[in-house]
Amino acid sequence: MRLMAKLYFRYGTVGSAKTLNLLAVAHNYRQQQKQVVLIKPALDTRFGSDHIRSRAGLEKPADILVEPDTILDGQKFKDVSCILVDEAQFLSKSLIRQLRQITLSLNIPVICYGLRTDFRTQLFEGAAALMELADAVEEIKTTCAFCNRKAIFNLKHSNGLATLKGPSVDLGAEEKYYPTCYGCYRRQLELAYADRLENLPMV
């Protein structure tokens, strides 16, 4: 009986080296003369529209850029040993389902890296679909930017203060987002919102 390839979701907060992990996995496959396909959402243009780049400076060109309505062509995965997806939280549920199907029909493992929740602690569409459909959900851990506890949330700052304003998809890097534990996430919001905090149901 043939073993079915798996769909993986490896999630972490901002600054948890998710993309560095992805690039290391890609390097290991290629060192073994195996083909990998790198996928990223087209909307992520922070480090160039067609490159996957870690904050440590390592980068590789993406093989496929996807939009929410992209239909993946199975012919592009001929002889591929693994599919790696960066910023998977920005993928549509339709794309996650296609990746799920690829593990079944083509028997290719798919490893997705991304955030679990936005700065308001709400699941991204792609992350929610992966939480539902992935065979394995694995956390990539890092510490809180304000203490030494494990970070679980992504805190957004604007003009030096924490904020819950703005769209869920709001691209930025270290100057805008911070990994935080629950306690520091709440304290930062307390500083910004003071007596209005009790009206914010997510915290």
Active site residues: 87
Q: What letter would DSSP give residue 115? A: -
116 closest CA partner among 48, 190, 45, 168: 168
Phi, psi of 128 (to 5 degrees): -60, -45
DSSP H helices in 47-120: 93-105
**Size (the chain), residues:** 203
Counting Cβ atoms within 10 Å, is residue 127 exposed (0-12), middle (13-18) or buried (19+)?
A: buried
Angle at CA of residue 72, ends 105 and 88, nearest 5°: 95
Rounded Cα distance between 22 and 33, Å, is 17
Task: Give me the torsion for CA of 182, 197, 201, 43, rounded to 10°.
Answer: -70
